[in-house]
Structure 1
Amino acid sequence: MSDQRSATPINDDQTDAFAEAVFDRARQGDDAMLARLLDSGLPANLRNHKGDTLLMLASYHGHVEAVRVLLEHGADPMIANDNGQLPLAGAAFKGDLAMVRLLVERGVAVDSAGADGRTALMMAAMFNRSAIVEYLLGQGADPQRQDARGISALGAAQAMGANDTAAQLKALAG
């Protein structure tokens, strides 16, 4: 008789269920559980079927502490999802200034852009997020930068009828 335990194979359904539970922990901001899982070897850049990383999900849902844990464990904030979106632009879209600050303070380039060329400044301008526009400009965001279609933050704000941010950006140009 042996004292060694035999390995129990995990089937694909079990693996999928575990992975989905982990992504739910990121969506819900369970920083303590994420830290335990990461300390136990969970890859910090694990991606789901949409290409969303744990960091993308935690940041999109506004969980600052979970994002801190993920960044401390090596999560890469420059991994875009399958739609080409980055966590910084997602935070700007959601209007989450605290998340935008955290990501920039942790070294994310203020003018980083996804596949479509849209920066966080463009996203904030489009959705009339004045405080985020002000913060990003203060951190050196380039208001003249254009996306893949040649549209600047001002053009994006105007196209979306975001009057406050359009006025903010016009004041810079004038």
Structure 2
Amino acid sequence: MSTPNINFTPEQITALFIDAAREGDTDLLTQFLDAGMTPDAADSRGYTALIVATYNGHIEAARLLLDRGANPEATDLKGATALSGVAFKGLQDIAALLIEKGANVDHANHAGRTPLMFAIMFGREDMARQLLASGANPDLEDADGTTSRDLAQRQLLTGLFAESKEA
């Protein structure tokens, strides 16, 4: 009895790689990377393994991918980076790792929204403070002309900028 010859398309292989990141399966991610998979391979939505691993809270998978060359500034099709996703979810430990590895705290997506804006919009006050402490600019405007300060006022998080005369 012969073993069937199974051929996967590049898209299927990338999907399996992204799924391993979604599950935080560092052993499988390592096998893919050792076999030559590029750490920044993206699916049809532009999601890289790093974006998916971080969004799902898998810090060890994120650390592995970053150590193996994943770009912390890679974007999905909407222009969002891994830091945008963790800011929205409030995953501070992963945000610290991404920033340590070179993520730009002020990277704006295609709508001009920064990680700080996402943290504020979703009420992640501790994350917002962390981003501000890491140098995030609260005065950048999105495509609608709205700043993080404006968003904080709307969310009643004005204490974020208590040291500022403008808040």
Fold agreement, TM-score > 0.5: yes
Structure 1 CA distance, aligned partners of 2:61 and 2:145?
Answer: 35
Whether contact under 8 Å (2:24, 2:58) holds in the other structure is yes
**TM-score, structure 1 as length reference:** 0.84
Q: Could you tell me which runs of 5 or more consecutive residues in structure 2 were left unpaired when the two chains were aligned.
A: none
Code of the residue aligned with 2:159 in structure 1: it is: A
- Residues 1-174 of structure 1: matches in 2 within 5 Å? 10=7, 12=9, 15-159=10-154, 162-163=155-156, 165-169=157-161, 171-172=163-164, 173-174=166-167
Structure 2 CA distance, aligned partners of 1:45 and 1:54?
Answer: 7
SS in 1 for 2:136: coil
Structure 2 CA distance, aligned partners of 1:146 and 1:170?
Answer: 20
Whether contact under 8 Å (1:51, 1:80) holds in the other structure is yes
**TM-score, structure 2 as length reference:** 0.87
In the TM superposition, what is the alpha-carbon distance from 1:135 to its structure 2 partner?
Answer: 0.9
Residue in 2 aligned with 1:3? none
Code of the residue aligned with 1:85 in structure 2: it is: A
Structure index of larger Rg: 1
SS in 1 for 2:99: helix
Give deviations 1:114-133, integer Å, cap 9, x for gaps: 22221111111111111111
Whether contact under 8 Å (2:84, 2:118) holds in the other structure is yes
Code of the residue aligned with 1:168 in structure 2: it is: L
Structure 2 CA distance, aligned partners of 1:170 and 1:42?
Answer: 47
Shift in CA distance, 31/9, structure 1 to aligned 2, threshold 3 Å: closer
Structure 1 stretches of 4+ with a deviation exceeding 4 A read none
Whether contact under 8 Å (2:55, 2:82) holds in the other structure is yes
In the TM superposition, what is the alpha-carbon distance from 1:158 to its structure 2 partner?
Answer: 3.8
Code of the residue aligned with 2:7 in structure 1: it is: I
Code of the residue aligned with 1:96 in structure 2: it is: L
Code of the residue aligned with 2:131 in structure 1: it is: L
In the TM superposition, what is the alpha-carbon distance from 1:149 to its structure 2 partner?
Answer: 1.8
Code of the residue aligned with 1:157 in structure 2: it is: A
Whether contact under 8 Å (1:127, 1:157) holds in the other structure is no
- How many residue pairs match? The answer is 162
Whether contact under 8 Å (2:106, 2:137) holds in the other structure is yes
SS in 2 for 1:149: coil
In the TM superposition, what is the alpha-carbon distance from 1:48 to its structure 2 partner?
Answer: 0.6
Percent identity reads: 35
Whether contact under 8 Å (2:72, 2:101) holds in the other structure is no
In the TM superposition, what is the alpha-carbon distance from 1:9 to its structure 2 partner?
Answer: 7.4
